[in-house]
């Protein structure tokens, strides 16, 4: 899988994420930022080479690659389920139930990292996965937070509840999100863009929470809703 962009590379290096190779532009019209990235890759012993801009463009089908293309291998490196053993106290997990849009996924990853969340969980089937688009929209932050794929979300929720997590599903309900106690070990479930949370997954939640809206607006984009709820969790835990 080829990904691109300077911020993406910076996050890869900061996360010590293993890659097959980094391709930098061979153009002589480079700037200090790019030269600093080359030196950073060299310092951390990453394999890299230089290629013409047209070659980089063919790799990622875009001209705005910023002079950086990274071959991260066949597939993104997802977390293992034993990641649960390493979560800190008062952890925040966000569970995405069959999300489909890579732009929404990338935006949620960005909000999750910015709100100090600890883990993102997606189902193995019928769900968007990590793609170059997701990585680009996340500004490389997909490399900064563990992302776990599980076979069965309902079973996963049962597992984390036994570990002391309270699980909240984002759905139309009488529980206004900012009136709820969202401290401690918390998992937030966000549903599919069109259908919301599946009934079987919803039934595993301890409570459903909603975002009140004015002017007869009945719903928000899932990435916007996730951002609002994640930052409320962050705010309550920061008190």
Beta-carbon count within 10 A of 56 CB: 24
Q: Are residues 99 and 169 in the same domain?
A: yes
Q: Are residues 216 and 198 in the same domain?
A: yes
Whether residue 133 sits in one domain with residue 223: yes
Residue 26: CATH number of its domain: 3.30.1330.30
Do 35 and 131 belong together in one domain?
no
From 42, 71, 100, the end of a domain falls on 71
User: Taking the C-alpha atoms of 192, 100, 74 and 17 in order, what is their torsion angle to the nearest 10 degrees?
Assistant: -60
pLDDT tens for each residue of the chain, 239 residues long:
999 999 999 999 999 999 999 999 998 877 899 999 999 999 999 999 999 999 999 999 989 899 999 999 999 999 998 999 999 999 999 999 999 999 999 999 999 999 999 999 999 999 999 999 999 999 999 999 999 999 999 999 999 999 999 999 999 888 999 999 999 999 999 999 999 999 999 999 999 999 999 998 888 999 999 999 999 999 999 98
Do 9 and 31 lie in one domain? The reply is yes
The residue from 45, 71, 97 where one domain ends is 71
CB 142 within 8 A of CB 76: yes
Residue 209 sits in a domain whose CATH number is 3.40.1280.10
The DSSP code for 86 is G
Handedness of CA 43, 8, 234, 123 (dihedral sign): negative
Whole-angstrom distance, CA of residue 175 vs CA of residue 212: 9
For 152, residues 6+ apart whose C-beta sits below 8 A from its C-beta are 123
For residue 149, is it within any domain?
yes
Q: Is the CA virtual torsion 164, 168, 174, 179 positive or negative?
A: positive
In a domain, 76, yes or no: no
Domain assignment of residue 232, given as a range: 81-238
Among residues 83, 212, 97, 112, the alpha carbon closest in space to that of 157 is found at: 97
């Amino acid at each position: 899988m080829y990904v691109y962009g300077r911020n993406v590379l910076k996050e890869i290096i900061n996360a010590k994420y293993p890659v097959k190779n980094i391709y930098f532009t061979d153009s002589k019209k480079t700037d200090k930022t790019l030269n600093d990235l080359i030196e950073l890759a060299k310092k951390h012993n990453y394999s890299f080479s230089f290629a013409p801009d047209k070659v980089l463009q063919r790799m990622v089908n875009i001209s705005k690659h910023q002079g950086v293309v990274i071959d991260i291998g066949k597939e993104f490196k997802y977390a293992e389920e034993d990641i649960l053993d390493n979560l800190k106290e008062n952890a925040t997990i966000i569970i995405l139930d069959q999300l489909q849009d890579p732009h929404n996924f990338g935006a949620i990853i960005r909000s999750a990292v910015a709100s100090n969340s600890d883990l993102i969980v997606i189902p193995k089937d019928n769900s968007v996965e990590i793609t170059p688009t997701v990585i680009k929209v996340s500004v490389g932050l997909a490399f900064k937070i563990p992302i776990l794929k599980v076979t069965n979300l309902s079973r996963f929720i049962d597992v984390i509840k036994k570990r002391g997590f309270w699980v909240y599903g984002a759905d139309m309900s009488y529980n206004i999100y900012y009136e709820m106690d969202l401290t401690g070990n918390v998992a937030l479930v966000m549903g599919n863009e069109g259908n919301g949370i599946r009934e079987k997954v919803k039934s595993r939640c301890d409570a459903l929470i909603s975002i009140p809206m004015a002017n007869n607006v009945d719903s928000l984009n899932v990435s916007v809703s996730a951002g609002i709820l994640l930052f409320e969790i962050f705010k309550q835990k920061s008190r």
